[in-house]
Amino acid sequence: MAASSEEFGAAWKIIETSFSSSKKLDPAPPVISPLGLQSAVELLINHGIGHIIEEWFLEVMNADLQQRIAPNFLAYFSSSVPEDEIGNFMSKVIAELYDNLSAYIPKLGQLDEISMCISLPTPSSMDGLNTVLYNEKKSRQPAMERAQSIFKAMLLPQYQIPESLYANVQKFYSLTMRVHHTTDEADIKANNEDRDDECIRCTGCCCDTDNCQCQTLLHIFHQVNQQLYELGLLERFAGEAVTSVIHEKIQDYVQHTCKGNFESSYLSCLETWLETKVVGWLSEVYRGSEGCERYNDPNTATSVEAYKSRLYYLLYETYTVVRIDQLFNIIIEYPESEPAIVDLRCCLEKTNLRSQLVTSLKTALETRLLHPGVNTADILTAYISGIRALRVLDPTGVILELVCEPVRKYLRTRDDTVRCIVSSLTDDSSSDLADELVRGEPLLLDDSCQGEEDMANWETWYPDPVDADPTKTSKSRRSSDIISMLVNIYGSKELFVNEYRTLLADRILSQFNYDTEKEIRYLELLKLRFGEAQLHYCEVMLKDVADSKRINSLIHNGELQGHQSMDIPVNAMILSAQFWPTFREDKLELPAGIKSSLDAYTKNFETLKGNRTLCWKPHLGLVSLEIELKDRKVHISCSPVHATIIMHFQEKSKWTVDELSVIMHVPVSVLRHKMAFWQSQGLLKEESADTFILIEEGKGGRHDIHMIDIEEETESAMASSHDQREEELQVFWSYIVGMLTNLETLPLEKIHTMLKVFAMQGPSTGECSIQELKHFLDRKVKEQHLIYAGGVYRLPKPGS
């Protein structure tokens, strides 16, 4: 039953009129009876061309979008809209778009109904062509979806959204988010908050409070979102802007909230904030407020959930980055900063920023700590804080190991590291290390725990993280205490013990305090750490002090047989030379009166301890003087050299440095330096170069008694470590001479290797770097003990 072309023409006319949506073109469309439309559609369907209705309709819609709707829509966004107009602007633009497009929407449902009526060929009677059609129809998209794809493509083509449109959209969401937050907090803020200033502005909309636009803006916000949602454009239109607004907000909020404060934990309050403020707002964008139709759409709910988990990740990441940036300061402030460390530990588990943390902290340590401007004690303090803080941050100890290796390496290059560690170990005021010492754990050195994983604890064992150094056992990483870690910077107990010995010697010989109770306590604690044997020398030193005290009182009570009286009250510190570090051997000729008193003391000592005698170290000691001048009396404690100088000024009031040098047996250069002390006390004046005179009368003519302590830089009584090093190198020299006698010529590297094998075994001689060796050998060449030619060293021919 074929239809005539007239019949088709009439039917199409009906369909065209009925589906035409453009009010503008056809202001008063003729009324089509539903029955008429139905038969028209049936005619087309029966002739197998039913599908062209939908194609035609979408084509018409497409053309309308392309020619009219899209250009108008995009034209609105050609320029930047000011913030105070963005709400109304957006409301108007989206409402217009909505009006335009919603004219098409009711028809789309009808199209779906029509396509339902297009009967499918029965599967049994299918030939090849029909199968294709069948599959096409079966997988048919609803017309609404097809229309929405067209909307998107025409209005907001992916990757081609103009920058100005995006900027305006972002402005809109940024403003509405702020309004949302403000209205949320309005009831809280209304009461307190010092905002009764002259210019009162709403923190949300930035308008005067009596002209607050917040409610209007919120209304617009919901309306715009709803309309975009219905058109299927919400995600494309708002998604990127919303994301960027949220990211910015999170950055801002995290930065502001926890800026510079490490003493409280922020993680849970940040989470609460994210959940209530950010996720709440996000949910209002995508789901609307509770009660509206799309709120219950499971698809929207799911996508908000997925979005939410990304936001949490972002929050943790942002917070972690902030804390990583501050980590150096956080470490310095440990343990007060422990909450920040604990937060960071949680965040590291949720993010992937471990290696960034390691890199960043390494750099921070290098730029802020490991340079010549920072003194060793401060580096050590930071290192100790670092050990403690990073242990909390990462109980496996791996981060600590990675980050602190450069610090250890650097500390090894500083001369005074050991001295700093030892002195703070036994210093009352710096509690950190002293506390550690009091805990009294035995020293755990790196080599002592290799391969000794404790099988008893296998149940609590956990694997090392992937960035761990496989050559270290996890036990050594986890359990070594801070003192052990410090000692391990050098890897040698001897070095520490020797340094302690020098320090103790200096302390005894600068303070001359015979009360050794405190030192004995430290020594006992150190013995727990370093072992009895290592500290035996120090024990003898302290015993010397106690013995000296007893001998002094025995000699002074005068009950000794044949007691020799002394003109000057001499106390002695009598040392067992073999057990003390090497002394500086400075010469000093003491005044006759002092010498005779010392001799008398020696006689008394010899009486007391048969077969033993004393060798005085004249330059060491502490002298207490009372100096009576014409107009004043001064009490001064000073060194024997200083005392000797001023005593010579009793004989005559004018001395040249040369004269003093001759009678005191002290080099001129040293004397000049010592004179400065008396100049600073106002007793001597340099009349002309190297000639000093006594100042009998002070200018002020004061008669009060001065108590003055020596404030000179305290000079060590011990031979400097440089001198000791020199001695060690002399030991190497005998080996080198031996090698060259046997092998005649050797290059530098070979000498170094051989020394390593034969001479560098002892703990005290220790290492000698190849640079140091070269330096030493060069000096020997200069001194003509060695010849260097053709890249090898050899000994000069005897007799040449």
Return d(Cα 274, Cα 272) in angstroms, integer.
Answer: 5
Interface pick for another protein out of 3, 32, 574, 770 (rule CB under 8 A): 574
Instruction: Give which of 86, 368, 94 is closest to 223, Cα–Cα.
Output: 94
Tell me the window of 155-163, 403-411, 415-423, 577-585 that interacts with another protein (CB under 8 A). 577-585
What amino acid is encoded at 533 in this protein?
A
Tell me the window of 62-70, 291-299, 532-540, 723-731 that interacts with another protein (CB under 8 A). 532-540
Q: Verify binding: residue 611, another protein, rule CB under 8 A.
A: yes
- How many chain residues interact with another protein (CB under 8 A)? 58
Tell me the window of 20-28, 76-84, 180-188, 568-576 that interacts with another protein (CB under 8 A). 568-576
Q: Verify binding: residue 207, another protein, rule CB under 8 A.
A: no
The residues near 101 (Cβ < 8 Å, ≥ 6 apart) are: 69, 151, 231
Tell me the window of 43-51, 60-68, 455-463, 574-582 that interacts with another protein (CB under 8 A). 574-582
Instruction: Give which of 279, 274, 276, 277 is closest to 303, Cα–Cα.
Output: 279
Tell me the window of 29-37, 388-396, 446-454, 597-605 that interacts with another protein (CB under 8 A). 597-605
The bridge status of strand 684-688 relative to strand 691-694 is antiparallel
Q: Verify binding: residue 726, another protein, rule CB under 8 A.
A: no
For 684, the enclosing helix (H) or strand (E) is: strand 684-688
Q: Verify binding: residue 623, another protein, rule CB under 8 A.
A: yes
Tell me the window of 349-357, 419-427, 642-650, 656-664 that interacts with another protein (CB under 8 A). 642-650
Nearer to another protein, 10 or 568 (CB): 568
Token pair 């640079």: residue: 771
**Would you call 643 helix, strand, or coil by DSSP?**
helix
Q: Verify binding: residue 626, another protein, rule CB under 8 A.
A: yes
Nearer to another protein, 365 or 717 (CB): 717
CB-count exposure of residue 642 (10 Å: 0-12, 13-18, 19+)? buried
Interface pick for another protein out of 18, 618, 671, 678 (rule CB under 8 A): 618
Nearer to another protein, 282 or 717 (CB): 717
- Would you give the end-to-end CA distance of the chain in angstroms? 134
Q: Verify binding: residue 264, another protein, rule CB under 8 A.
A: no
Interface pick for another protein out of 601, 677, 692, 776 (rule CB under 8 A): 601
**Would you call 647 helix, strand, or coil by DSSP?**
helix
Q: Verify binding: residue 570, another protein, rule CB under 8 A.
A: yes
Nearer to another protein, 39 or 650 (CB): 650
Nearer to another protein, 290 or 651 (CB): 651
Q: Verify binding: residue 545, another protein, rule CB under 8 A.
A: no
Q: Verify binding: residue 628, another protein, rule CB under 8 A.
A: yes
Distance set, CA 671 to CA 509, 630, 641, 677, 726 (Å): 21, 26, 9, 10, 26
Q: Verify binding: residue 565, another protein, rule CB under 8 A.
A: no
Quickly count: other Cβ atoms within 10 Å of residue 479's Cβ. 14
**475-514: which residues touch another protein (CB under 8 A)?**
509, 512
In DSSP notation, 343-395 reads HHHHHHHHSS-HHHHHHHHHHHHHHHTSSTTS-HHHHHHHHHHHHHHHHHH-T
Interface pick for another protein out of 471, 578, 742, 800 (rule CB under 8 A): 578
For 437, the enclosing helix (H) or strand (E) is: helix 431-439
Instruction: Give which of 446, 356, 462 is closest to 402, Cα–Cα.
Output: 356
Is residue 638 a contact partner of residue 647, using CB atoms and an 8 Å limit? no
How far apart are CB 610 and another protein at their closest, in Å? 9
Q: Verify binding: residue 547, another protein, rule CB under 8 A.
A: yes
Q: Verify binding: residue 629, another protein, rule CB under 8 A.
A: yes
Tell me the window of 80-88, 468-476, 536-544, 747-755 that interacts with another protein (CB under 8 A). 536-544
Instruction: Give which of 642, 625, 638 is closest to 588, Cα–Cα.
Output: 642
What is the binding site for another protein (CB under 8 A)?
Answer: 509, 512, 536, 539-540, 543, 547, 568-580, 593-594, 597-598, 601-602, 605, 609, 611-618, 620-630, 635, 640, 643, 646-647, 649-650, 653, 694, 696, 717
